[in-house]
Amino acid sequence: MSDAYSDLVETLRRELPEDSIVLSDSVLRENSRDFGQISGEPVMPLAVVFPTEVGHVQAVMRVATANRIPVISRGAGTGVSGGVHVQGDAVILNLSKMDKIIEIRPHDEVAIVEPGVINHHLNTAVAQFGLMYAPDPASYKMSTIGGNIATNAGGLRCAKYGVTRESVLSLDVVLADGRLIRVGKNTFKGVAGYDLAALFTGSEGTLGVVVRAFVRLRYLPVDERDLSMVFPSLEAAVEGVQQIAKSRIQPAILELIDYSTICVLDQQYSTDYASLGGAMLLVRLDGYGAEREEAAVRDAFMSSDVQLSKSGDAAATRLIEMRRTSRGDTKDDAYRTGEDVAIPKSRMVEYVHRLQDLAREENVNMRMISHAGDGNLHPTFFVDPTEGEQLLARLHRAVEGSVKEALALGGTITGEHGVGLIKKDWLAWEQSDEVLQLQHQIKALLDPLNILNPGKAI
Amino acid sequence: MSDAYSDLVETLRRELPEDSIVLSDSVLRENSRDFGQISGEPVMPLAVVFPTEVGHVQAVMRVATANRIPVISRGAGTGVSGGVHVQGDAVILNLSKMDKIIEIRPHDEVAIVEPGVINHHLNTAVAQFGLMYAPDPASYKMSTIGGNIATNAGGLRCAKYGVTRESVLSLDVVLADGRLIRVGKNTFKGVAGYDLAALFTGSEGTLGVVVRAFVRLRYLPVDERDLSMVFPSLEAAVEGVQQIAKSRIQPAILELIDYSTICVLDQQYSTDYASLGGAMLLVRLDGYGAEREEAAVRDAFMSSDVQLSKSGDAAATRLIEMRRTSRGDTKDDAYRTGEDVAIPKSRMVEYVHRLQDLAREENVNMRMISHAGDGNLHPTFFVDPTEGEQLLARLHRAVEGSVKEALALGGTITGEHGVGLIKKDWLAWEQSDEVLQLQHQIKALLDPLNILNPGKAI
């Protein structure tokens, strides 16, 4: 490949500004993977291109098409499913320098952004207008809007405000051959033709490269009230989730944390919540209804043995922030694997019992947090690397078992992280051959040479 | 076609129950169109099939594929874009008898329905659990969930609760060749593979036949407060919409009604709102925040010359219901055409001025209602059939002008009604050749013989 390789780099250099093409070892290494844990040595990309305008992206795709070279587009690389892992010859299109907020239109409640804009930066910029960009994956301080769109990212407050798809109005997309198209509409509502914006959203860079997004903003809540609720057991906490639903309260955030995770947080932040009980709910109520909702929550749990934080207690807010920025680990490692299933809300207790059985059978440890408002669970399985035999095989069996159990209960293999590379084999457990085939046909339509992040997502 | 025709009917009879195939003139006529107004005599379908189970739909599609006969699936036919108009040889698949609510799972906040379930019936059935099905097109008392899905129907409360797409979790779809697939997921969140459920939603029966839907329910609001606000002018009313936004209030319903429409409502319901002012906003605030939101609205308009209804005034609720069930007309006719553009919220006054100019230039009448919360406007143009010359040409020019002006302001040709047949020529005004072509390619993938509602939607 070495001749072909220098030809490729030469061609890229002709088409692009000098400093946009980087070949240094450290940059190649940084761009070889995301946060998803995969065994084996990382594969280095051929080159990393940092486009600063749409034309650069088009040029890269034209060169890639002419040379049949795979292109992996990426942002901050905070994904955890290996969605941007390099597997063979590939050029990385790192969009992090296309980071301009092109326009904020407060009266239209929309913003136009380049894909490299960091989620948190957009939120900071629109707050002055009393607006927010709702999708808030745990990585919101680092992850880019483009990456959020590629994975149709969820987050903590999407039970109330929707996932990324619900905030994407239109997208400018560079196709595999370098053509630029615009899909979707610039208005809140619009049903002209097929929903191509939704098709590209969540397609993990396999159908095109998003180079501009027109996103919907929402009103920044006028009030926020945070509560922590400590329950004697996980079962009681899940019952608490149903109780909140019965009161017809839609929290902005409703996180369920099990005892083991409480212990991890205690350790990280020198707190002592573990002494209080067996599981916690962290609840954020927001908007004009927050005050009445808080009163309704207090009413609903008055006679129960839940320990509810006092009104305005800053500790509850701190707990939400602690939870927001970690599930007890920033990255998985070989001995710890976090999952991301979603199941019907009513099956949570049943599911957790199955997880506990699995962990026992395989002699691994398990802890769990959950976006309980929408049944999205993140169990983490881990082993002590110094103990026992067949560590990785046991871990692997537990993880696969957890996914199968989720499917058996009517769930999905991925609630918000995406399929990437890591979950690709599981997709066939969830979807029929016809549905898988249809997706490959759509991929072939848009990417006939299979150069857009090949081998991922479907 | 007569030999081939009797062969076809013969084949259908072999595959389907006797009473599911109807050939009577009255039923053929009823099923030849929807509410969309098109000049010329209706074209009768070859036959109308009323399946009562999924297998019947599969049988029809197998027969249609074998005979290369177009199939138009439909529900109540309340669409207004000619989406189910018969244009040539075609079998109608009328799904209105597949009207079972298969299951309601209150703890999961989902329902499983057949496509013929009437929107309102689902809402009635889930209300006992404190739940609602949010999408509420004006036709909700007659229209079916299947039809709502086919058009990705909006409605009054979608600015707050989302359009149909946001309530569709998974779909069972019969493909052109009779195969049955399931797309989407049965959980609130899920990002496994491409978003095929969104692709089928709004595809107007051109990609497959939806035979079962798994839909998300929302909490029935614990409180509802309706306000009517009369403004001296349309401009002041639009300013009022911005004022509500500035207060960061997301109403469940926010309808803007112009003076001419007020006069129509007055006439229909023997009221006298026209004497009060030049335009109205109808506002529904709901949920735990309704009371505080009402107070905030009153605060915001305290010093202005808006006439706000008293708290709890039943007249405001009646006005919303009046608006809900009509825009002053149940059907368009040759001399009256209603449109359905959506534009950026901030451009509403500008747009209405352009509409007024257009109406003046073409010497036609214009009135307008708007889902002002999401910038979806329904202008109606009409002429007195006894007055002037070139009536239809003038009307036509005004309508086309209104669509072009919406596009010029960054809007869309259809906010919620769909493209159907009537807006098909306009689609190229909004979307590029590449985007149109991509949609035709997706259609060809799923329907290689072009037998699924050919000539519609794209």
What one-character-per-residue DSSP string does A100-130 give?
Answer: -EEEEETTTTEEEE-TT-BHHHHHHHHHTTT
Give whole-number Cα distances, A243 to B33, B122, B130, in Å: 47, 23, 12
Quote the crossing angle between the two packed helices A290-300 and A234-246, to the nearest 10°: 130
Classified as helix, coil or strand, B245 is helix
Asked if residue B339 lies in contact with residue B327, where contact means CB atoms within 8 angstroms, the answer is no
Compute the residue count for chain A: 458
The letter for the amino acid at B121 is H
The pLDDT of B120-137, averaged and rounded, is 97
Q: Do the Cβ atoms of B249 and A185 come within 8 Å?
A: no
pLDDT tens digits for range A27-61: 999 999 999 988 789 999 999 999 999 999 999 99
DSSP H or E stretch at residue B237: helix B234-246
Here the tokens at position A187 are 């208005």
Q: Does B32 touch chain A (CB under 8 A)?
A: no
**Contact B438/A181, CB-based, under 8 Å?**
yes
Those of residues 278-337 in B touching chain A at CB distance below 8 A are: 287-293, 296
CB distance B382 to B336 below 8 Å: yes
The stretch B101-115 carries a mean pLDDT of 98
Torsion angle defined by CA atoms of residues B239, B244, B245 and B246, in that order, rounded to the nearest 10 degrees: 90
Q: Check whether B303 has a pLDDT greater than 60.
A: yes
Q: What would the mean pLDDT of B307-311 be, rounded to a whole number?
A: 95
* Nearest residue, CB atoms, A152 vs list B110, B187, B191: B191
pLDDT for B331 equals: 55
| Assigned CATH class of B336-420 | alpha beta
The interface pTM score, or ipTM, of the predicted complex is 0.97
Measuring CA to CA, which residue among A73, A127, A75, A122 is closest to residue A102? A122
Q: Are A374 and B188 in contact (CB under 8 A)?
A: yes
Q: Are B93 and B431 in contact (CB under 8 A)?
A: no
Residues 136-155 of B with CB under 8 A from A: 151-152, 154
Q: What is the pLDDT of residue A270?
A: 87
Question: Beta strand pairing status for A91-94 and A47-49?
Answer: parallel
The answer to whether B23 touches B141, Cβ cutoff 8 Å, is: no
A169 within 8 A of A407, measured Cβ to Cβ: no
Which residues 374-413 in chain A show a CB within 8 A of chain B?
374-376, 410-413
In the 3-class helix/strand/coil scheme, how is B199-262 assigned residue by residue? HHCCCCCCCCEEEEEEEECEECCCCEEEEEEEECCHHHHHHHHHHHHHCCCCCCEEEEEEHHHH
**A436 contact B CB<8A:** yes
Q: How far apart are CA A269 and CA A262, in angstroms?
A: 10
Cβ-contact B450, A216 below 8 angstroms: no
Using the Cβ of B184 and the Cβ atoms of chain A, whether some distance falls under 8 Å is answered with no
Domain A336-418 grouped into CATH 3.30.70.2740: yes
Contact A61, A209 (CB under 8 A): yes
The domain made up of A224-325 has a fold known as: Alpha-Beta Plaits (3.30.70)
Query: Mind telling me how many Å the CA of A347 is from chain B's nearest CA?
Result: 8
Query: Tell me, what's the pLDDT at B271?
Result: 87
Q: Which of B189, B204, B254, B438 to mutate to test the interface with A (most CBs of A within 10 A)?
A: B189
Taking the Cβ of residue A458 and every Cβ of chain B, the question of whether any pair is shorter than 8 Å is answered with yes
Closest CA to A30 of A74, A64, A61, A70: A74
Using CA atoms, how far residue A262 sits from A137, A138, A316, A319, A323, in Å, is 20, 17, 13, 10, 10
Let me know: does A457 contact B195? Beta carbons within 8 Å.
Answer: no
Of the pLDDT bands very low, low, confident and very high (cuts 50, 70, 90), residue B341 is very high
Residue owning tokens 């500008």: B350
Confidence of residue B332 (pLDDT cuts 50, 70, 90): low
A193 touches chain B (CB under 8 A): yes
Residue with tokens 């989620």: A119
Nearest CA in chain A to B206: A194
Quote the CA–CA distance of B172 and A179 in Å, as a whole number.
Answer: 34
| A268, containing H or E segment | helix A259-269
* CATH code linked to domain B98-219: 3.30.465.10
Q: How far apart are CA B45 and CA B87, in angstroms?
A: 8
| Nearest chain A Cα distance for residue B329, angstroms | 23
**Does residue B66 belong to the interface with chain A, where contact is any CB pair within 8 Å?**
no
> What is the arithmetic mean of pLDDT over B188-215?
98
Evaluate if residue B458 carries a pLDDT over 70.
yes
Compute the average pLDDT of residues B347-366.
95
User: Which positions 68-97 of A are in contact with B (Cβ < 8 Å)?
Assistant: none
- Give me B22's structure tokens: 């109807």
**Helix (H) or strand (E) segment spanning residue A14:** helix A2-15
Contacts of B168 in chain A (CB under 8 A): none
How far lies A450's CA from each of A47, A64, A443, B153, B177, in Å? 19, 11, 8, 35, 27
Chain B interface includes A346 (CB < 8 A)? yes
* Contact between chains at A344 and B108 (C-beta distance less than 8 A): yes
Report domain B2-96's class: alpha beta
Contact B163 A189 (CB under 8 A): yes
Structural element, H or E, at residue A321: helix A314-325
**CB-based contacts of A353: which residues, under 8 Å, 6+ apart?**
none
A172–B contact, CB cutoff 8 A: no
d(CA A430, CA A408): 10
Quote the CA–CA distance of A262 and A368 in Å, as a whole number.
10
Contacts of A109 in chain B (CB under 8 A): 245, 345
Nearest residue to A381 via CA among A365, A396, A368, A370: A365
Confidence at residue B152, expressed as pLDDT on a 0 to 100 scale: 98
First to last CA, chain B: 28
Q: Distances from the Cα of A307 to the Cαs of A301, A310, B332, B432, in angstroms?
A: 9, 9, 60, 58
- The one-character DSSP state at A355 is H
pLDDT at B329 over 70: no
Nearest by CB to residue A193, choosing from B198, B346, B457, is: B457
Q: Is residue B292 classed as helix, strand or coil in its secondary structure?
A: helix
8 Å CB contact of B418 and A191: yes
Grouping H, G, I as helix, E, B as strand and the rest as coil, residue B170 is strand
Q: How far apart (Å, rounded) are the C-alpha atoms in residues A351 and A404?
A: 11
Residues A379, A338: contact at Cβ < 8 Å?
yes
**Collapsed DSSP state (helix, strand, coil) of residue A160:** helix
Residue A248 and residue B220: Cβ atoms within 8 Å? yes
Asked if B199 lies within 8 A of A195 by C-beta distance, the reply is yes
HSE-CB at A20 with a 13 A cutoff on CA atoms is 25
What's phi and psi for A67, nearest 5 deg? -105, 0
Residues of A in Cβ contact (< 8 Å) with B345:
107-109, 188
Q: Which CATH class is domain A99-219?
A: alpha beta
Q: Please, what is the end-to-end C-alpha distance for chain A in angstroms?
A: 28
Domain ranges, ordered by start, for chain A: 2-96, 99-219, 224-325, 336-418
- The predicted model gives B4-26 an average pLDDT of 94
Do the first three CATH levels of B2-96 and B336-420 match, i.e. the same topology?
A: no
Within 8 A of A220 by CB-CB distance, chain B residues are 248
- pLDDT > 70? residue B282: yes
Q: In a 3-state reduction of DSSP, which class is residue B353?
A: helix
Q: How far apart are CA B365 and CA A319, in angstroms?
A: 60
CA dihedral B400, B406, B407, B410 (to 10 degrees): 180
Spell out which residues of chain B touch residue A343, defining contact as CB-CB under 8 Å.
187
| pLDDT one-digit tens code per residue, B393-431 | 999 999 999 999 999 999 999 999 999 999 999 999 999
Are B12 and B56 a contacting pair, CB within 8 Å?
no
Nearest to B289 among A288, A435, A442 (CB): A288
Q: What is chain A's pLDDT, residue by residue, as a tens digit (458 residues)? A: 567 788 899 999 999 999 999 999 999 999 999 999 887 899 999 999 999 999 999 999 999 999 999 999 999 999 999 999 999 999 999 999 999 999 999 999 999 999 999 999 999 999 999 999 999 999 999 999 999 999 999 989 998 999 999 999 999 999 999 999 999 999 999 999 999 999 999 999 999 999 999 999 999 999 999 999 999 999 999 999 999 999 999 999 999 999 999 998 888 888 899 999 999 999 999 999 999 999 999 999 998 889 999 999 999 999 998 887 665 555 557 788 889 999 999 999 999 999 999 999 999 999 999 999 999 999 999 998 887 788 889 999 999 999 999 999 999 999 999 999 999 999 999 999 999 999 999 999 999 999 999 999 99
Query: Would you call A187 and B344 a contact, using CB atoms and an 8 Å cutoff?
Result: yes
Q: Please, which residues have CB within 8 angstroms of residue B269's CB and are 6 or more apart in sequence?
A: B322
φ, ψ (nearest 5 deg) of residue A18: -45, -55
A419 touches chain B (CB under 8 A): yes
Q: What is the pLDDT of residue A73?
A: 98
From the list B154, B189, B371, which residue is nearest A342 (CB)? B189
Phi/psi for A294 (5° steps) reads -60, -45
> CB A195 to CB B202 under 8 A?
yes
